[in-house]
Amino acid sequence: MKFKAACLHVIVILGLALPGALSAAAAAKAKTLQLVGFGDSLMAGYQLPTTQSYTALLEKALKAKGHDVAIANAGVSGDTTAAGLSRVDWSVPDGTDGVILELGANDALRGIAPAETEKNLDQIITRLKARNIPVLLAGMIAPPNMGGAYGEGYNGIYERLSQKHGIALYPFFLDGVVGQQGLQLEDGMHPNAKGVQVMVDRSLPAVEAFLASIKPAQ
Phi, psi of 156 (to 5 degrees): -90, -5
Q: Of 41, 53, 162, 203, which residue is the catalytic one?
A: 41
- DSSP E strand boundaries for the chain: 33-39, 69-75, 98-102, 135-138, 168-170
Distance CA 218, CA 208 (A): 17
**Is 190 an annotated catalytic residue?**
yes
Q: Of 53, 107, 190, 203, which residue is the catalytic one?
A: 190
Distance CA 165, CA 186 (A): 37
Tell me how many degrees the CA angle 168-134-209 measures, rounded to the nearest 5: 45
**Is 187 an annotated catalytic residue?**
yes
* Active centre residues (catalytic): 41, 187, 190
